[in-house]
Structure formats: C-alpha cells, structure tokens
A and B are shown apart, each in its own frame.
Chain A
Amino acid sequence: MKPDELLTVDNLSATYKLPRGRQLTAVANVSFTVCKGETLGLVGESGCGKSTVGRSIMQLPPPTGGSVIFEGRDLASLDAEALRRTRTRLHMIFQDPISSLNPRRKVRDIVAEPMAIAGVGTAEERRRRVSIALESVSLDPDRVMDRRPHEFSGGQCQRIAIARALIMEPHLVVCDEPVSALDVSVRAQILNLLEDMKARYGLTLLFISHDLAVVKNISDRVAVMYLGRLCELAPSARLYEAPLHHYTAALMAAIPVMDPDRRRDPSRLLVGELPSPVNPPSGCRFRTRCPRAAARCAEIEPKWREAEPGHFVACHFPLGSST
C-alpha cells in the first residue's frame, strides 16, 4: 500500500440470496484505491451496483467478499466498538436529503448526532461545533438550529446533511447521488459547496452518481461500472477525452448537449436494456449491447488491465486500438 492511499477496495463482492436458491451478484471483483485529498467519481446506470459499493465501504452491510481497507485497517476485521470509532472518520451523504434526516428531531440534534454517538464533547462544545458546521454550509445557526427538517427545502436539507457529515471532521465522505434529487439551480450550489468543504477540511470524496457531467466536474479520477463490474477507470479529463470502453463512449454519447446546432446522431444510440443481474450475460457483461462484440466476448470475461499509465479498462477490443 502506497503512503497516500486512504481507501483500498480490493476484490469487493456483494451477493444477495434470492428465493428458490438463486443468487444476485450486485457487485463482483471491484477493486480501486482512493488517495488522500482526491475525489473519485463512480458512475453508472441504475442497477449497476454503484450504491452497493458505497454501502459496502460503509459496512452497511459489510461486503460478502473482498476487503475494504481504510487507513491501513481492514474494516471487516474490526469489532463493533472499533468500527464505531472508525466511523467518525468515515461518513456518508445520501441522495434524498429529506428522508435521510429524522423528521422528529431538531437540526441541532441531527447535526450533533455523530458527536453524541462517538461520545465526544460537552453540551457547550457540541453546540459550538454544530454552529460552526452550519455556518460552513452557509446556514444561519441561530435561525435553523431549533427547526425541524420539514421546514427546509431539499437544497437546505442537503446542506444540513453535509454539516452532519462534516462535524466529526471525517477523512473520507461517501456521497451517494447527493445532487440528483435537487433542482438544477440548487444543484450547482451544492456541488460548489462540496468543493469548498473539500478544500477547507482536506476531505477525500467518493462521489457516486449516474450523471456524467456532474461526475466529470467534481472528480479527479472516474470509475465506470456496468452490471456489477468496473469497466473503466481513468483520470477524469482523460476518460472523457479518450474513453477506451465502448460503454463509457455510449454513456457519453447519450448525454443531451445544450446546443441546438449540435444535435446527436440517433444511430449512435445504445440499443437494448440492462440485462438482469440475476442472469447476466456470459463473458463480458456489456456484450449484449456492445457495437463491437465478437465471439470472444461471450466466451472470456475481459481482464481488468492498465492500458496506459493510470488508465484501466476491461475490454477485449478497446476503442482506439486496431484489433
């Protein structure tokens, strides 16, 4: 492990039992690292397993295979007490800010809860830190502390959730679709806020989203998932400039462009739908929708390899190659 690695996810798998002895493999063999101070984006369509990866890192629930090493310790090996102590340095922000906040509690208690769980600080100390945390997310502590979540808009609730995530000054924050439920005009505010918080607290972020434009904006490196597997991982700018995996290229081609003069060619659209994860295709999981699929793709699952320094891909026939 390199000294600047904060989180190492190694061969992570998450399997769920289904009725009649069947199994659903939501995530299989996912490996990546997140370095200190970096933002890693994790992008994919619904059902690709990206949220499961986030939850597995948080041990909510622990993964069924592989390991999650945070600050040099395998989280699965920790007992409940040690895990609770580690969780002060590891936090999560969810998609729906309104349902992730307890509607019956006041903002001051919601934001102070991580301190209460960790048992740190006196009442006065907690109040002071709640106040600082709320100010840092541009909420007026005196006006919001004694109110409850239903009195706030979605954007404000997400600010409260961010204040709660930051109060223990965590080292890693897992953000699962933090702006997807927000209006366009509020989305940019929250994305800017996350960038500010990252600079101010020296945070490391794992940013999970289905929105490629958002992910590109906030991430240093981006990992693309499809049907429970990683298909590509590269520095953000590089991935968008020269994707190697056909799925990454198709995802980008599907994003509507805000320019009426540059309308897309419909023939480049991806055909078909996501296959069932209960019964995934053999070999490469993307082959049923891939324009480049060949016999080999059905037989052999492509290996995860470093095609160029820092640019990983799992494809037999990556884009830009002659074969």
Chain B
Amino acid sequence: MTKASTALLEVTHLVTQFHTPHGMVRAVDGVSFSVQRGQTLGIVGESGSGKSVLARTIIGILANDGSPTTTGGIAFEGRDLLKLSEPEMRDVRGKDIAMVFQDPTSSLNPVKRIGAQIGEVLTRHLGLRCRAAEARSVELLASVGIPLPAERLHQYPHQLSGGMRQRVAIAIAIACEPKLLIADEPTTALDVTIQAQILDLLRRLQRAHNMAMILISHDLGVVAEHTDVVAVMYGGQMVERASTRSLFHSCRMPYTQALIRSAPSLPDPPHTRLRAISGRPPDMLHPPIGCRFNPRCDRATDVCRADQPALSPSDADGAHLYACWHPVGAGEVLP
C-alpha cells in the first residue's frame, strides 16, 4: 500500500445515491481512483454519467436535506473527508480543495463586488484584513490575466464577459493555493478561443503551484490536451482508466473507442460518415443489467447482459484498467 500513502486524494468504492420520487438513483456507483500531487486527472463522460455528482461528493456540496447518501472513502492527505463535520469540511473547502464550475454567472454572487468575493476567501481562510486582502486580490486577478485588476475589484460580475467571469472564479479558487482544484466543465460555456486561453491559464497556474487537478469534461479533445490520466465514466461507473496517452492510443473499453470515433475529426474530408453510437445513455432509475453499455455495444453477448465486468488491469503494472468482457484489441472472451 505504498501508493495509498503518497496519493493526495484516494477515493475508494464511492457510492452516492439519491432518493427520488421515482425511486433510488445511484449516480456514482462504486468508483475508486487516486490523484497524485501536481497531477491532472481527466474525467470524461456524457451528461448523466455521474461525473459532476462525483466532484460534488468529493468537495462535500451535495444537498444536505437527506436525499443523497454517500458511502465509501474519500481520503485527502490521509484524512477521510466523509467523516469530517461540516465546520471541519468548511476549513478544507476553498483552502485545500477548491472548485471551478461550468457557469461562472451562477457560481459568482451577482450582488457582491468582485473584490468582496475574493476578499471573503482570503479573510476566511488566511485571516487577511482590508489592505492586505485587497493587495492580494489585485495580485490574484492579475495572475489570471485580468486587465486593470484594481478597477475590477469594484465591479459586479455582470459587468464582465463570460471569459472574464470564469477568470474571476479561477482567481477565487486559487486564492488559498489549494492542493487540489476540481474544474467541472470549466470551459463548456465559453467560445473556443476563450476556452483555449482558460485551459492554458489553468495549466500555468497548476505548474506554478504544483497543484493537482481533476478536470471534468465531455470534450475528448480538451482531455487529450490537458490531462495526465483519464477516467471514463458511464452510467455512474468508471469503465476505463489509463494514462492519457494509453487511453487515446490503445483504449480497451468499446464505449471509450466509440466516443473517440464518434467525434468529427478536423483532418477528415467533408461529408465523412460519422461513426455514431446507437441508442442513448442509460436511464439511471433502471440501469441495464450486466454491463451498462451493453444495449449500445456491438460486441455485446449474453455474458454482457448478465454479469457486470469488473475493472481489470490491461497491462502488467496495472496502470491501465478497463471493465469489459470483450475488450477492444483482445478479440477473445476473458475468463
């Protein structure tokens, strides 16, 4: 267990369930992974695959009205976050683990000035007061590439563009130099040229502070360019996990392969027929029995419709894991 002692974040058998009027939904179903210091883990999946619920479970911001229940372990620097009280968790959140959301318009407070929103974090976690907090806020805004940072402190979020708002959200997230940043679709609401700027900014900040990052995205291109390790989620489960290079060059899970193939590729000539995945993502109230991808998979056989495959190693060092009875590149049924 030497690996467990060095990992910054170690998630084991995490299950998050919601009680809904229609029944129980297991949004995250037995997910395990670890993140090393300074590493970027990409989580890929379609809407409803459980990737955002996973992120929210880690940082502890699911509704506390009793509807979600979580089991498993989330060890951050050896401490189980699931066992912390809410006041203890508040000291971790925003300081050691920070989060950037998809929509900066709704994650920023519309009736508070930018300066007050950054200052709040600095005062809460670092105890900085007026002058010091203001000086640090200006530094932070400058570090995320916001022009005229001192003037921005007195502005409201609506006075900024979407890209600038996301920069402010990132400035708030990195204010306390967190050890782990969770970015949930941080650029999905932005244009491609702005997306490229924001992703580049995240990469530079990450290198400067040796910060680990969980980058959640549905965009395989974004993940290919900005992560070290990728986990693919489908129907609440992790179906493949590998180094980014290994995943894109030799994926084993048919769903991963289908996702990579279904995206239009720029080098292809116009009117190239796309290799669409038939069907649609599973209904989480009634997930398919066996492998959750089986109704859409062209390799599916009886075993896929009966038994759920476990995550198993593809190579000797166990760095590449996949869950499939008939993996890509193997051709024969595994025991």
Given pairs A216-B264, A258-B263, 15 additional interface contacts (CB within 8 A): A46-B191, A184-B263, A185-B296, A187-B262, A212-B192, A212-B266, A216-B270, A256-B219, A256-B221, A257-B221, A258-B221, A258-B224, A269-B196, A270-B196, A274-B161
- Given A184-B46, A214-B264, A256-B225: A266 in contact with B191 (beta carbons within 8 A): no
Contact yes or no, B280 A219, CB < 8 A: no
Contact yes or no, B47 A183, CB < 8 A: yes
Contact yes or no, A183 B266, CB < 8 A: no
In this complex, the member of B199, B220, B274, B277 whose beta carbon has the largest number of chain A beta carbons within 10 angstroms is B274
Please list the residues of chain A having a beta carbon within 8 angstroms of any beta carbon in chain B. Answer: 45-46, 153, 155-156, 183-189, 191-192, 195, 210, 212-214, 216-220, 236-237, 240, 250-261, 263-264, 266, 269-271, 273-274
Does B281 interact with chain A (Cβ within 8 Å)?
A: yes
Q: How far is the CA of A236 from the CA of B275 in the complex (A)?
A: 20
Contact yes or no, A269 B193, CB < 8 A: yes
* A205 CB → nearest B CB, Å: 12
- Given A185-B46, A273-B164: A254 in contact with B264 (beta carbons within 8 A): no
CB contact list, B244-280 vs A, under 8 A: 244-245, 248-249, 258-260, 262-266, 268-278, 280
Contact yes or no, B266 A252, CB < 8 A: yes
Closest to B270 in A: A236
Q: Which of A183, A240, A263 touches B218 (beta carbons < 8 Å)? A: A183
Does B102 interact with chain A (Cβ within 8 Å)?
A: no
Please list the residues of chain B having a beta carbon within 8 angstroms of any beta carbon in chain A. Answer: 46-47, 161, 163-164, 191-197, 199-200, 203, 218-222, 224-226, 244-245, 248-249, 258-260, 262-266, 268-278, 280-281, 296
Q: Which of B195, B220, B274, B275 touches A258 (beta carbons < 8 Å)? A: B220
Q: How far is the CA of A218 from the CA of B281 in the complex (A)?
A: 24
Please name all residues of chain B whose beta carbon is closer than 8 Å to the beta carbon of A192 when the two chains form the complex. Answer: 273-274, 276
Q: Which of B245, B262, B296 touches A260 (beta carbons < 8 Å)? A: B245
* A241 CB → nearest B CB, Å: 10
Q: How far is the CA of A255 from the CA of B200 in the complex (A)?
A: 13
CB within 8 Å: A-B pair count: 140
Q: How far is the CA of A205 from the CA of B222 in the complex (A)?
A: 29
Contact yes or no, B193 A186, CB < 8 A: no
Closest to B274 in A: A188
Closest to A263 in B: B225
Q: How far is the CA of A41 from the CA of B83 in the complex (A)?
A: 54
Q: How far is the CA of A220 from the CA of B244 in the complex (A)?
A: 34
Q: Which of B192, B218, B249 touches A254 (beta carbons < 8 Å)? A: B192
Contact yes or no, B259 A254, CB < 8 A: no
14 contacts between A and B (CB under 8 A): A45-B194, A153-B280, A183-B280, A183-B281, A184-B46, A185-B276, A188-B275, A192-B276, A237-B270, A256-B224, A257-B225, A257-B266, A258-B265, A269-B196
Please name all residues of chain A whose beta carbon is closer than 8 Å to the beta carbon of B266 when the two chains form the complex. Answer: 212-213, 216, 240, 252, 255, 257
Please name all residues of chain A whose beta carbon is closer than 8 Å to the beta carbon of B197 when the two chains form the complex. Answer: 269-271
Q: How far is the CA of A237 from the CA of B203 in the complex (A)?
A: 32
Q: How far is the CA of A263 from the CA of B221 in the complex (A)?
A: 10
Q: How far is the CA of A66 from the CA of B225 in the complex (A)?
A: 44
Please name all residues of chain A whose beta carbon is closer than 8 Å to the beta carbon of B196 when the two chains form the complex. Answer: 253-254, 256, 264, 266, 269-270
Please name all residues of chain B whose beta carbon is closer than 8 Å to the beta carbon of A271 when the two chains form the complex. Answer: 197
Q: How far is the CA of A240 from the CA of B266 in the complex (A)?
A: 8
Please name all residues of chain A whose beta carbon is closer than 8 Å to the beta carbon of B264 when the two chains form the complex. Answer: 188, 191, 213-214, 216-217
Closest to A198 in B: B271
Q: How far is the CA of A261 from the CA of B244 in the complex (A)?
A: 10
Please name all residues of chain B whose beta carbon is closer than 8 Å to the beta carbon of A266 when the two chains form the complex. Answer: 196, 200, 203
* A275 CB → nearest B CB, Å: 10
Please name all residues of chain B whose beta carbon is closer than 8 Å to the beta carbon of A219 when the two chains form the complex. Answer: 270
Q: How far is the CA of A274 from the CA of B225 in the complex (A)?
A: 24
